[in-house]
Every structure is written in structure tokens, then in C-alpha cells.
């Protein structure tokens, strides 16, 4: 990625320079050409003025001073000058012989026809490209001759090349700076990503305690590192929970399994009279095993992250669950009383959570409720939610036990032997997954006041 980034950055700089400098180079060439032509034109007209008198006199008179002027001019400017009379014959040296015929040069003919011309052509005499300027020498209304100045095309190339060399140096320096900047920038961007990659590799290898660096690199990478760390944090929590859960669960399953095995072993050697008892006990252990497994399943489902909450009518659910438990309560000679405010009440919960919570609380209460006692199931509006409670008149629990009772597999000494110790753990998990919480309080007459707070809807 780093190399690609550097290549892209340098590529962009080179492209920008090319787009800017290639037309600039051709523009430079045309500017230089225009400058040369303008200069030659100006000189040709000046010269034409000077030779006008000489030509007017039909080439007679003193041409020496003019010739030495032309010679100096030719040397300093690297040009060649031809002055011809109206017949197209050279009238001045020193480059050309006086009398040499120039009528075969189209530009001379144009100038003699009264038209100043400029252009570029290949010189057959010199075998190179030439720039030429030819202007007529006019006296009054008549053309008495022409002046032509030629310069080799290399004059322009030289000027352009020296300017291009300057431009090239600028381009080179820009590219060098771009390469250095690209290395620095690519490093700044990719270094934190490389570190993040190393962290993910260590995590993939099983080290969930490692974290990405949240304090270096560009803001986007820092924000990525933060959400990455949050994700790993949650993952670590989940894995820890799962490990703990699996450990406790397998440990707790071992006890009823051992009990079952002992019962079956006893059954195998039991006489006919005891066989029925042993098998019945074995069946009871099987039932308990089944309930533990079911409880574990409910718990792991309730721990599942994204559950959609649904509205539940508190009054209707309480009435319906109490009707369900009534026959058993009657069997225990316990009164099941419903005490709910008149106000309409509904809560937002994990589907069926309210039913399961009430069932677990009533089930626990029935386990401890003495004959002739009352279990009260109530609900009341509090702040921004609803409190649902199942109060019994049983022996109750100490403050410490009430706090511990929600732990998985926790059971009080002498508790109902058929219990799994998972009921309250399930209640707490369901309440929390619904955005509420559960707790055991002490009832005024010594029993347990099992409460769940849920958000109203």
C-alpha cells in the first residue's frame, strides 16, 4: 500500500508538471520566434533607411561605412545581411559578393515587389533552417531595392533550450520534493495502519488483551482504532463470559449426572421392592438434568445481543400467570393474591420475558411459602417505569444471600432439592436485556419481596 501511495502521489505531481510544462515549452518556442522576427524586422527597416541613399545613387558613393556597420551587426547578432538593388543584385558585402544575383530567392522578390515578408525555410546554400526577414527599400513611392536578414533556426533553439534548462531544473526540484513529501506522507498514513494490522494479527493468534494505539495517526485511523478496541473489548467480555459459563455449566451438569448414575447402579442390584424407588429417583434426576439444560439454553439466548423489545400488558400478563399457578398454590394451601394499581400499565421487554420472570418469582415463592400463607403479586407505576413484585411470607433470605441469589447455580442451604439455581439468573438476564433490573428485597413480615423494574412503554 505504501509503495502504491508513493507512486500515486509522485505520479500526480509529475502529471501536473507535464500538463503545465509541455505547453509552456512550446509557448516559449513561439515567444522566442516572435521576439527574433520582431528584432530582425526592426533591424531590417533601420538598415533599409540607411541603404536608401546608397541605392538611390544607383549603388554609387561611399559604401565602406555601411559595409563595416553591417559586418559588426552580423558578428554581434549572428545573422547574415543581404542588400540588393531593384534588379536583385547584391550591392554590399562583406558576406556576399557585390553583384551576386538574389532573384531566385522568393522573399527577395516579395520585398522588391514592395511587400515586407518574414518566414522560415531551409537554406539550400547552408543546408540549415533559416528565419528570414526581407523588407523593401523605398525611396519616395518607388522600391529601389531590398534588405534581407537571415538567422539560423538554432538561434531560437539556443534561447529556448537555455530557458527550458531553467524550467527542467524547477521540474526536477519539484519531483524530488514530491518524492520526499510522498515518503513522509505515506509513512504517516500507513504506519498506524501497519501497527493496527500487527495488533489484529496478535488478536487473531488468541491474545485478546492487546489493544490498538488510539493516540497516533490521522483522525480517521484513530477513530478506527477506537472502534476496533471497543469491538475487541466486547469480544473479550463475551469470550470470558462464555468460558465462565461453559465451565460452571459443565460442572453443574456433572452433579445430577453422577446422581443419576448412582441411582441406576443401585437399581441394577436392587431387589424388586426397591427397584421402583430407584427408578423413580433416577427419573427425577433426569427431569432435573432436562431443566438445567433448558435453563442454560434460555440464559444463553437471553444473553444474545440484539433482541427486539416488544410491548407487554402488565395487568393482563399478571392475571394470566396467576390463573396458571392457582391450582398449584391451592395444592400448597397458599393464597395467590393479585394487587395492581388501576392505571393502565405496559412495559417494553424481550418477548415472553415478563411471563418468565413472574413464573420464576412465583415458583420460588411457592417453594418456601408456608401453608396458609399468602403470596401477593403486584405492580405499580414508579418514575419512568413499572415495578412488578412477588411477595411471600416464607423464611426470607439474609441481605448477603439476596444479593448472591442471582448468581448462576446459587441455591440457599436446604433449598428445594429439585431446583437448578438458574431461575433467578435467568430473571436478571431477561430484566437487563429488556433495559430493566431485578432484585430481592426483604418483605416487611420477613419473607422475600422479589422485584423487577421494567421500562414503561
Ligand X SMILES: Nc1ncnc2c1ncn2[C@@H]1O[C@H](COP(=O)(O)OP(=O)(O)OP(=O)(O)O)[C@@H](O)[C@H]1O
Instruction: Note whether 48 binds ligand X by CB under 6 A.
Output: no
Instruction: Note whether 412 binds ligand X by CB under 6 A.
Output: yes
The interface partner of residue 48, options being ligand X, Mg ion, none and the CB cut-off 5 to 8 Å by kind, is none
The interface partner of residue 63, options being ligand X, Mg ion, none and the CB cut-off 5 to 8 Å by kind, is none
Nearest approach in angstroms of CB 419 to Mg ion is: 6
CA distance linking residue 309 with residue 320, whole number of Å: 20
CA distance linking residue 266 with residue 339, whole number of Å: 49
Binding mask 287-326 for ligand X (x = CB under 6 A): ----x---x-------------------------------
Residues whose CB is less than 8 angstroms from the CB of residue 171 and which lie 6 or more positions away in sequence, other chains included: 17, 21
- Can you list the pairs that 90-96 forms with residues at least 24 positions away whose Cβ atoms lie under 8 Å? 91/51, 91/54, 91/55, 91/59, 91/63, 91/145, 92/51, 92/54, 92/63, 92/66, 92/67, 93/67, 94/67, 94/70
Nearest approach in angstroms of CB 446 to ligand X is: 10
249 and 425 Cβ atoms separated by less than 8 Å: no
CA distance linking residue 384 with residue 244, whole number of Å: 34
Cβ nearer to Mg ion, comparing 45 with 410: 410
Cβ nearer to ligand X, comparing 257 with 415: 415
Q: Which helix (H) or strand (E) holds 410?
A: none
CA distance linking residue 436 with residue 317, whole number of Å: 17
CA distance linking residue 122 with residue 153, whole number of Å: 10
Please select the residue that binds Mg ion; options are 88, 136, 145, 423, rule is CB under 5 A: 423
Instruction: Note whether 419 binds ligand X by CB under 6 A.
Output: yes
Binding mask 344-373 for Mg ion (x = CB under 5 A): --------------------x---------
Count of residues that bind ligand X according to CB under 6 A = 25
Please select the residue that binds ligand X; options are 115, 411, 441, 455, rule is CB under 6 A: 411
Please select the residue that binds ligand X; options are 32, 107, 392, 393, rule is CB under 6 A: 392
Residues whose CB is less than 8 angstroms from the CB of residue 258 and which lie 6 or more positions away in sequence, other chains included: none
The interface partner of residue 451, options being ligand X, Mg ion, none and the CB cut-off 5 to 8 Å by kind, is none
The interface partner of residue 397, options being Mg ion, ligand X, none and the CB cut-off 5 to 8 Å by kind, is ligand X
* Partner residues linked to 437 by β-bridges: 453
Instruction: Note whether 368 binds ligand X by CB under 6 A.
Output: yes
The interface partner of residue 412, options being Mg ion, ligand X, none and the CB cut-off 5 to 8 Å by kind, is ligand X
CA distance linking residue 93 with residue 56, whole number of Å: 18
Residues that bind Mg ion (CB under 5 A): 364, 423
Residues that bind ligand X (CB under 6 A): 291, 295, 360, 363-365, 368, 392, 394, 397, 405, 410-412, 415-416, 419-425, 448, 450
Amino acid at each position: 500500500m505504501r509503495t502504491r501511495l508513493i507512486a500515486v502521489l509522485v505520479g500526480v505531481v509529475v502529471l501536473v508538471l507535464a500538463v503545465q510544462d509541455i505547453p509552456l515549452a512550446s509557448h516559449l518556442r513561439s515567444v522566442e520566434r516572435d521576439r527574433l522576427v520582431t528584432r530582425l524586422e526592426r533591424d531590417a527597416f533601420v538598415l533599409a533607411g540607411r541603404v536608401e541613399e546608397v541605392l538611390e545613387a544607383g549603388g554609387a558613393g561611399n559604401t565602406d561605412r555601411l559595409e563595416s556597420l553591417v559586418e559588426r551587426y552580423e558578428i554581434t547578432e549572428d545573422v547574415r545581411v543581404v542588400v540588393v538593388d531593384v534588379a536583385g543584385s547584391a550591392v554590399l558585402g562583406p558576406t556576399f559578393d557585390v553583384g551576386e544575383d538574389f532573384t531566385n530567392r522568393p522573399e527577395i522578390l516579395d520585398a522588391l515587389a514592395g511587400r515586407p515578408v518574414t518566414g522560415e525555410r531551409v537554406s539550400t546554400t547552408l543546408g540549415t533552417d533559416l528565419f528570414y526577414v526581407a523588407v523593401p527599400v523605398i525611396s519616395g513611392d518607388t522600391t529601389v531595392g531590398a534588405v534581407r536578414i537571415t538567422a539560423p533556426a538554432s538561434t531560437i533553439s539556443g534561447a529556448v533550450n537555455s530557458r527550458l534548462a531553467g524550467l527542467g531544473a524547477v521540474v526536477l526540484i519539484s519531483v524530488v520534493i514530491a518524492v520526499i513529501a510522498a515518503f513522509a506522507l505515506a509513512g504517516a498514513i500507513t504506519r498506524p495502519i501497519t501497527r493496527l494490522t500487527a495488533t489484529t494479527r496478535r488478536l487473531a493468534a488468541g491474545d485478546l488483551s492487546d489493544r490498538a494505539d488510539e493516540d497516533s495517526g490521522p483522525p480517521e485511523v484513530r477513530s478506527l482504532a477506537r472502534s476496533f478496541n471497543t469491538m475487541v473489548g466486547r469480544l473479550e467480555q463475551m469470550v470470558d463470559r462464555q468460558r465462565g459459563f461453559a465451565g460452571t455449566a459443565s460442572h453443574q451438569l456433572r452433579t445430577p449426572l453422577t446422581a443419576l448414575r448412582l441411582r441406576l447402579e443401585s437399581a441394577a442390584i436392587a431387589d424388586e421392592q426397591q427397584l421402583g424407588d430407584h427408578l423413580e429417583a433416577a427419573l427425577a434426576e433426569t427431569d432435573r438434568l432436562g431443566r438445567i439444560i433448558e435453563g442454560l439454553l434460555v440464559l444463553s439466548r437471553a444473553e444474545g445481543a440484539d433482541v427486539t423489545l416488544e410491548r407487554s400488558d402488565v395487568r393482563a400478563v399478571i392475571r394470566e400467570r396467576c390463573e396458571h399457578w392457582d391450582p398449584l398454590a391451592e395444592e400448597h394451601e397458599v393464597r395467590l393474591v393479585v394487587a395492581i394499581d388501576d392505571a393502565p400499565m405496559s412495559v417494553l421487554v424481550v418477548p415472553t420475558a415478563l411471563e418468565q420472570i413472574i413464573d420464576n418469582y412465583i415458583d420460588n415463592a411457592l417453594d418456601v411459602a408456608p401453608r396458609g400463607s399468602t403470596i401477593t403479586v403486584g405492580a405499580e407505576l414508579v418514575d419512568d417505569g413499572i415495578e412488578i413484585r412477588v411477595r411471600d411470607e416464607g423464611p426470607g433470605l439474609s441481605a448477603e444471600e439476596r444479593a448472591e441469589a442471582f448468581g448462576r447455580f446459587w441455591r440457599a442451604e436446604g433449598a428445594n432439592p429439585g431446583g437448578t439455581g438458574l431461575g433467578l439468573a435467568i430473571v436478571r438476564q431477561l430484566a437487563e436485556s429488556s433495559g430493566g433490573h431485578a432484585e430481592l428485597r426483604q418483605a416487611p413480615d420477613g419473607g422475600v419481596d422479589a422485584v423487577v423494574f421494567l421500562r414503561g412503554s
